[in-house]
Amino acid sequence: MKKPVYLDYQATTPCDPRVVEKMLPYFTEMFGNAHSVTHSFGWQAEEAVELAREQVADLIGADTKEVSFTSGATEANNLAIKGLAHFYGTKKNHIVTVATEHKCVLEAARRLEREGYEVTTLGVKPDGLLDLDLLETTITDRTLLVSVMGVNNEIGVIQPLAEIGALCRAKGAFFHSDGAQALGKIPIDVEAMNLDLLSLSGHKVYGPKGVGALYLRRKPRRVRLVAEMDGGGQERGVRSGTLPTPLIVGFGEACRLAKLEMAEEGKRLRLLRDKLYQGIAGRLDGVGLNGGADKRIPGNLNLSFKWVEGDQLLRGLTDVAVSTGSACSAATLEPSYVLKALGLNSELAHASLRIGLGRFTSEEEVDFAIDAIVGAVQRQRAQSPLWALHIEGSPLVDP
Amino acid sequence: MIYLDYNATAPLREPAFAAMAEVMRAPGNPSSVHRQGRQARRRVEEAREIIAAAINAPAAGVIFTSGGTEANNLALTAFPGRRILASAVEHPSILKGKVDAIVPVDRFGVIDLAALDEMLSAEKQPALLALMLANNETGVIQPVAEAAALAHRYGAWVHADAIQAFGKISVDLAALGLDSLSLSAHKIGGPQGMGALVLADSEVDLQPLLVGGGQERRNRAGTENVAGIVGFGAAVADLGDLAVEVARVAALRDRFERAALDSLPGITIFGRKVSRLPNTSCLALPGVPAQTMLMALDLAGFAVSAGSACSSGKVSPSPVLVAMGEERLATSAIRVSLGWASREEELDSFIGQFVSISERLVREHQPA
């Protein structure tokens, strides 16, 4: 077993070796620019890109013409939200999103707000899920876009995409979802879910970093955008720039593998995840599960630990790679805004760990992680005045 | 098949490939604070330093992007208050943006400094000037240092698209007096999907194009493409002694051009009279359509292009040549571009075939 044990699969995943294998020839002998139409180096690259486009489209039930490659989910989310608003903004200018969205969705919405768009950021229920009745009353005839992530990057909860999609369709609003954490973890069907726009990422699904995609519906109502990047007009003018053929090949292969293996992998991870949870919660008091238990991807746990000082928690955990929140905000000392949106106070949000399991997580690693996490919490508690107060039964820590 | 289209993309350099193959298999988001994350962060920062040093820029000024197009777009949208001036021969990633005024070029494709002076003096507020260091189609090098000195007198921000110049001639951000420049990894034998906008002053406050997790000092959100960044750094480190490589490639290119000029009386080589990249040859045989020439060369086993890769799918003549007043020849123009893996034997074989194919096509396309 290699240490540190990697349990941060929501931050990024290692590239599957089968994905790397598929990519390698496109780095070396088949290195052409996919937009070169005058020679076989270009044709070869273009053919590979189009096969990958089929593989991505196939995993989400889309047509290949509806898939545009980007540099990742952040770019796809920026393009979806700002690009859509800039195209339709003169007709409708209301955008609805959710407090637990990824930073790039919230920041894109904030940018639009500064430009004069009206943005409603909905809260979530204590389990992390969106209240559909609240959403229904929020959508008006001026609502251009509803953006709700499929799976949360910190707490792994699965939003009811089909229900949200039906609501948006009925009310005439476009429905966008940040699918970075959902892709390859839960089945996605753009038709059944009435998705109009869907952002995808390569490196969260055992593909490479630096590639993602944006799905844009063509029928019955075609989604139009103002491109964020101008230039050579690649990707039907949606996104200019030379396509990174090897990365796209890798992303395609990652999607193909996900489609084949998602169901089995989910079962395996669920067993491991439940073992991890029971192992920790069975040996420690004051362990809370952040986010609902049922509507959750199998590879995620997010646990809070009472009576410890949060910023000390990671220090004792050198041989297990987990995180306290999303990777983007890992270096800041701010408690997770996602956990606060669930109603956790700052102390408990600080004293929480995101544990992400994935394709290469073994039972041995889970056993090791249980001991390491339980040990770290016990050591922190031994030094913590909060724990001492708890033992004394002080109402200061246990009101 | 012999590849002579390095200005479209270059084969990956071996050290870049090796470095990436290793990094790709490791998990690690550089923003994560655990060991795998810190290791990824270290690799990103090492690459940043290599790239900065190669162009005499501060490491903190390097903002990694998904490529040259994004870097150029970021430069153009970074300062919403400034009007944008760009030359007529810029890459579409500049010209398709919100350019307010076009700086004309002469018949060699070199910007008109007197016209630029006049345009800058007419601007009421300090503008943003975007100039390419070297043209992707003709290889013509612009007098960027002179233009930058001039533009700075009017308080302009000077951005150079150095995508084609980098790795082919010396690029020194400080010596050129630039405020920013853009780079692309795959044009120098690094990976596709990777580039950078480089700032002379890393503290400058710019409006990002992509917002989100606040990576790249809040200038460019998105999980860093660690393998791509590492590959870019390794490719830059592999550039070696540029003077030697310039001389080697120029000798090959010049030998080809000499042979073409000697055997094909009607041939025009664009930009030959002015300062040019050592690797690029843009030429036309009057009356021979570029498509016909490209097909014949492809059959003979040579990969070259007509103009840039982005526009090579379209039939319209190259806007660069049109801006140079070469409408008549633009539909006949092809681009031969060499690079780090080009070998003497490849050029020998190309020269012979090119001359005989050209002679045949000229005969076939002579007006009856």
Distance, CA of A396 to CA of B9 (rounded, Å): 65
Positions of B marked active-site: 310
CB contact under 8 A, B228 and A231: no
Least confident of A201-215, A376-390, B160-174: A376-390
B178 neighbors B160 (Cβ within 8 angstroms) = yes
Whether the pLDDT of residue A365 is over 70: the answer is yes
Of all residues in chain B, the one with the smallest CA distance to A241 is: B69
Which residues partner with A197 through β-bridges? Answer: A176, A216
Closest CA of chain A from B66, distance in Å: 6
A249 touches B: beta carbon within 8 Å: no
Give me the pLDDT at residue B120, please.
Answer: 98
Find residues 93-112 of chain B whose CB sits inside 8 Å of chain A. Answer: 93, 96-97
Of B140 and A28, the structure prediction assigns the larger pLDDT to: B140
Q: How large is the average pLDDT for residues A267-273?
A: 98
pLDDT tens string A140-176: 999 999 999 999 999 999 999 999 999 999 999 999 9
pLDDT in tens, B98-114: 999 999 999 999 999 99
B366 at interface of A, judged by CB pairs closer than 8 A? no
User: Tokens standing for A315?
Assistant: 């220090």
Could you tell me the pLDDT band of residue A63, with boundaries at 50, 70 and 90?
Answer: very high
- Tell me: pLDDT of B311 over 60: no
pLDDT of A84 over the 90 cut: yes
- Nearest Cα of chain A lies from the Cα of B367 at a distance, in angstroms, of 26
> Mean pLDDT score of chain B, rounded to an integer?
95
Over the stretch B26-85, which tens digit does the pLDDT of each residue have? Answer: 878 888 888 889 999 999 999 999 999 999 999 999 999 999 999 999 999 999 999 999
Q: Which two tokens stand for residue A3?
A: 């240490």
Residue A326 has pLDDT above 70, yes or no: no
User: Best of A5, A23, A38, A201 to disrupt the B interface by mutation (most B CBs within 10 Å)?
Assistant: A38
Which residues 250-289 of chain B have a CB within 8 Å of chain A? none
Inter-chain contact B93–A232, Cβ cutoff 8 Å?
yes
The reply to whether A326 touches chain B by the CB within 8 Å rule is: yes
Any B CB within 8 A of A397 CB: no
Cα of A80 to nearest chain B Cα, Å? 11
Residues of B in contact with A211 (CB under 8 A): 193
Residue of B263, B190, B256 lying closest to B227 (CA atoms): B190
The set of residues, in sequence order, having a beta carbon less than 8 Å from that of B279 and lying 6+ positions away, is B6, B7, B139, B168, B249, B250, B253, B337, B338, B339, B342
Q: State residue A110's pLDDT score.
A: 97
Residue B129 has pLDDT above 80, yes or no: yes
Interface test with B, best of A7, A111, A242 (most B CBs within 10 A): A242
- Reduced to 3 states (helix: H, G, I; strand: E, B; else coil), residue B149 is helix
pLDDT for A330 beyond 70: no
Going edge to edge, which strands form the sheet with B333-337?
B268-269, B280-284, B333-337
Tell me how many degrees the CA angle A328-A180-A236 measures, rounded to the nearest 5: 115
Between B366 and A13, name the one with better pLDDT.
Answer: A13
For B:179-198, CB contacts with A below 8 A are 184, 186, 191-194
Q: Which of B151-160, B249-258, B358-367 has the lowest mean pLDDT?
A: B358-367
B211–A39 C-beta distance less than 8 A: no
Beta strand A300-305 pairing with A287-289 = antiparallel
**Is residue B309 predicted with pLDDT exceeding 70?**
no
Indicate the residue of A28, A37, A314 with minimum beta-carbon distance to B312.
A37
Q: Residue A218, by phi and psi: left (phi above 0), alpha (psi -120 to 50) or beta? A: alpha
CA distance B48 to B196: 10
| pLDDT above 70 (res B312) | no
A42:B193 CB<8 A: no
Query: Token digits for B34?
Result: 């655990």
CB contact under 8 A, B17 and A20: no
Among B211, B220, B299, which would you mutate to test the A interface (most chain A Cβ atoms within 10 Å of its Cβ)? B211
Mutation choice for A interface testing from B25, B32, B282, B340 by most A CBs within 10 A: B32
A86 touches chain B (CB under 8 A): no
- At residue A328, the pLDDT reads 57
What amino acid is encoded at A111 in this protein? Answer: R
Residue A327 confidence (pLDDT): 60
Q: How far does chain B reach from its first CA to its final CA, in angstroms?
A: 34
Beta bridge partners of B195: B65, B184
Res B198 pLDDT > 80: yes
Cβ-defined contact of B212 to A23 (cutoff 8 Å) = no
- Average pLDDT, integer, range A287-311: 93
What is the pLDDT at residue A335?
87
Considering only CB atoms, which chain B residues are within 8 Å of A246?
191-192
The answer to whether A38 contacts B37, with C-beta atoms less than 8 Å apart, is: no
Contacts of B21 in chain A (CB under 8 A): 20, 24, 27
**CB within 8 Å of A125: residues ≥ 6 apart:** A131
CA distance A71 to A241: 10
Q: Which residue has the higher pLDDT, A326 or B13?
A: B13
Query: What whole-number distance in Å separates Cα of residue A301 and Cα of residue A356?
Result: 6
What's the average model confidence in pLDDT over B235-239? 98
Which chain B residues are closer than 8 Å to A9 by Cβ? Answer: 27
Q: What percent of chain A has pLDDT over 90?
A: 85
- ipTM of this complex prediction, to 2 decimal places: 0.91
Mean pLDDT confidence for A185-199? 98
Residues of chain B contacting A235 with CB distance shorter than 8 Å: none
Check if the beta carbon of residue B6 is closer than 8 Å to that of residue B338. Answer: yes
Q: What pLDDT, on a 0 to 100 scale, did the predictor assign at position B315?
A: 56
Collect all residues of chain B within an 8 Å Cβ-Cβ radius of residue A180: none
Q: Does A203 touch chain B (CB under 8 A)?
A: yes
Residue A397 pLDDT: 80
Q: CA quadruple A176, A178, A182, A184: dihedral positive or negative?
A: positive
Q: pLDDT-derived band of residue A395, with 50, 70 and 90 as boundaries?
A: confident
pTM here is: 0.94
Asked whether residue B367 carries a pLDDT value surpassing 80, the answer given is no
Give the 3-state secondary structure of residue B157: strand
Cβ of residue A32 closer than 8 Å to a chain B Cβ: yes
The least confident of A239-248, A330-339, B206-215, B303-312 is B303-312
Contact of B17 with chain A, judged by CB distance below 8 Å, is answered with yes
The one catalytic residue in A15, A104, A255, A328 is A328
Upper half-sphere CA count for residue B314 (Cβ side, 13 Å) = 12
Give the pLDDT confidence of B149-197 residue by residue, as tens digits: 999 999 999 999 999 999 999 999 999 999 999 999 999 999 999 999 9
pLDDT > 70 fraction of chain B, expressed in percent and rounded: 97
